[in-house]
Amino acid sequence: MANRLAAFLRGMNLGGRRVTNDDLCAAFAAVGLTDAAAFRASGNVVFSSDDGVGPLRRRIEDGLADALGYPVPTFLRTASEMRAIADHQPFPADVIAASAGKLQVVLLAVAPGAKARREVLALATDDDRLAVDGTELYWLPAGGVSQSDLDQKAVDAAVGVGTQRTKGTLDLLAAKYFPGA
């Protein structure tokens, strides 16, 4: 039986680029992933495959570049990784509840090493709380993301470029496609 995975695509439907969920699923079908299902209109695609994550990521990125005409960095998570993200609470519940901002998750290509973790966590403030767990960077802004003073370029320099989703979106995706994984 094939493994169920989630692909998170960076830069979908931003900066004037508009890609429909049907187009995304067609691009996945073109690389042999025929049971793809898009979740929301923000570059989240769930699919099945027996292939390894590394070769699969490259195959998807190549297929998307062919279909869309530009590179699309892709971040894959297995069923167990999705459940771990959904189950993880990086900050105390009362801190999250008191924040006007939504808890964000930056999905990274690789887990940051000790030096990168220290560098990114040094960017945290009372208004921008940060935590790292494996290949995820959790960010709780005090208010809206666009009002944050967090230096995104410094974050990227420390841990590499990722793709960001709200924890709520990832929780819903995990509940729908990876229940009890």
pLDDT, tens digit, 9 for 90 and up, residues 35-47 = 999 999 889 999 9
pLDDT at residue 89, as a whole number: 97
54 and 90 housed in the same domain:
no
Q: Measure the CA–CA gap between 123 and 118, rounded to whole angstroms.
A: 9
- 89 and 62 in one domain? no
Q: How many structural domains compose the chain?
A: 2
Q: Is the pLDDT of residue 110 over 80?
A: yes
Residue 19 shares a structural domain with residue 87: no
Domain span holding position 150? 83-177
Are 138 and 105 contacting, i.e. CB atoms less than 8 angstroms apart? yes
Together in a domain, 55 and 126: no
In this model, does residue 1 exceed pLDDT 80? Answer: no
Q: 75 with 118, same domain? A: no
**At which of 49, 82, 115 does a domain end?**
82
**Banded model confidence at residue 17, pLDDT cuts 50, 70, 90:** confident
**What percentage of the chain carries pLDDT values higher than 90?**
91
Work out the mean pLDDT of the chain and round it to a whole number: 95
Same domain, 87 and 39: no
Q: What is the reported pLDDT for 181?
A: 60
Q: What is the pTM of this model?
A: 0.95
Q: In the structure, what pLDDT confidence band is assigned to residue 65 with cuts at 50, 70 and 90? A: very high
What is residue 180's predicted lDDT score, i.e. its pLDDT?
Answer: 79
| CB count in 10 Å sphere of residue 171 | 17
pLDDT at 121 over 90: yes
The predicted structure's pLDDT at residue 34: 77
**What pLDDT was estimated at residue 73?**
97
